[in-house]
Amino acid sequence: MSTIIGIDLGTTNSAVAVLQGGEPILIANATGETLTPSAVSIAKGGQVLVGQAALSRATTHPEATAVAFKRDMGLLKRFELDGRKMTPPELSAVVLAQLKRDAEAFLGHPIEEAVVTVPAYFDDAQRQATRSAGEIAGLKVERIINEPTAAALAYGMHAKDRELTAVVLDVGGGTFDVTVLELIEGVIEIQSSAGDARLGGEDFVDALVAHAVAELGEIDHASSRARVRAACERAKCALSSSEDTRIVAPGIEVAGKKVDCDIAITRDEAHELWAPLLQRLRVPIRRALMDADMAADDVDEVLLVGGATRMPCVVQLAAEVFGKLPQTDLPPDEAVAMGAAVQAALKEGNEAVDDLVVTDVAPFTLGVEIVSEIGSRLVHGVFAPVIERGTVIPCSRVKRFATTEPGQTSISVKVFQGEYAEIERNRKLGEYTVKGIPKKTGECQEVDIRFTYDLNGILEVDTTVIATEKVAQMVIQRAPGRMSKGEVKKARKAMQRLKVHPRELLPNTVALERANALYVEVRGGDRDRLGYIIAAFRAALDEQDAAVIAELRDDLNATVSRMKRG
């Protein structure tokens, strides 16, 4: 039987893992790293680069590179890469396909199926888009698991014999989830989930970029904006270990002139810039605790997941809210992929995890739009919940409604997710029309609307006309961002035609692209030395002498690392 792999498809980085010897193991990519940047770039001749090679081109070739596209899953958005238009699911599929190739190289056999993680607060359209991305990449994705639930599974592997209440704070590149859970002898019960699907490490970088723009003025060109953003990303990371740093990007074009971006910033100044974001983190934490009917003092341990939790301000916030230092037993960048591997092993029926059980809950309320009669008035746009947030899944709930007018022969069922009484403040998931309702003079007809929500967070809606027992089912084929079967099939064929960069040559390409990105930033003697080594490496690539290539690649990588540290 083919191995099922676990994949953390992240906003900033992605990872793939598998259970071996009873333990989740992260699979290294062609450059020996367990984290693959979620970046795609189109190089000369239409060749597609994925991962670190693509990320390095984000500053040198921003017009041909896409990053952070996970945040737009389920939306009608197109990224244009050097004239080629690609959707978020298609870009995600390129990353998934690369992870699939890495896993196949590691395991030595083809991979057909994967468990893929998503933020707990991803809605139906975003989850369906993730499933479509897997299909385009040639992967069957029958099981989708929430990222904090996956992290809890990885944690549960190491704490099977303990009984405790824990909170998982998952601050990724583009999303934030908080999950309250109870662990009792290998049984993980999710009590509640909350989050913000558009809050993560990228927003902290955006705040630094806004600060730099306020100092410099409006930046003219895409390449200059990309370089300033990369400098802000480096500064954000530096402030995790230093009290102060500088946002440095020489030769930036501002108002038609070239200026050097060199802005000093302290950790305290950055925290002041990030204060609104940190306040936003507190809101879902409060909601998750309230839904679990717990106080912060009831929590035994706090688990930090996601690269952004390395930021001292996030650690400090967690310590302030819960009155204890967070746990650091699992690497924050790897915990979700490890948990996905555990879920894959559970799906396979692996004996190593047969004593591990996990339950999950619906992270948001699902319902329909109704017209409410208040006295003699009809109030439109009212939200009627069918499945409340916090309901254990899988679940099926039904509610009975009636037509608004006597003799009405059809109804429009509009489905929403959200927590507000006013329908316009919630997110619309789709709608469909139920026809064939019997026309009876002076009588309103009753209908049952059933929501079925599965373990993958995928929603099905059935409407039954009571008088006829006729059932209509919602199929949201044309909702924003939703790909039809035909579109998925077409995208998969296009994927197979892509000139994907050979995996065995990736270490050389990564080394060269990283060096080229640094060459833009350095000056003087450093630039001369780096330029010479780049030229020597390119000459070795032309000569195709493997031993010389490997030696010069090591030299180039060492030089780049040394210059970045210096």
Asked about 8 being catalytic, the answer comes back as yes
d(CA 291, CA 191): 8
Catalytic residue among 90, 102, 124, 147: 147
Asked about 469 being catalytic, the answer comes back as no
Question: Can you state the angle between helices 52-60 and 506-521, rounded to 10 degrees?
Answer: 30
Helices (H), 323-435: 335-348
> If you search the block for the tokens 């000459």, which residue do you land on?
539
d(CA 48, CA 65): 10
Catalytic residue among 70, 72, 182, 236: 70
Asked about 70 being catalytic, the answer comes back as yes
Burial label, 33 (beta-carbon count in 10 A; 0-12, 13-18, 19+): middle
Catalytic residue among 8, 113, 135, 177: 8
d(CA 289, CA 299): 9
d(CA 386, CA 399): 6
d(CA 496, CA 494): 5
Q: Which residues contact residue 419 at a Cβ distance below 8 angstroms, ignoring those fewer than 6 apart? A: 364, 365, 389, 426
Single-letter amino acid, residue 398? V
Q: How many CB atoms lie within 10 A of CB 382?
A: 16
What is the pairing mode between strands 47-50 and 499-500? parallel
Catalytic residue among 102, 170, 233, 369: 170
d(CA 251, CA 21): 52
> Do residues 114 and 134 lie in contact, with contact meaning Cβ atoms separated by under 8 Å?
yes
d(CA 477, CA 484): 6
- Dihedral of alpha carbons 114, 120, 126, 127, sign: positive
d(CA 187, CA 94): 35
**327: which DSSP letter?**
B
Asked about 297 being catalytic, the answer comes back as no
Catalytic residues: 8, 70, 147, 170
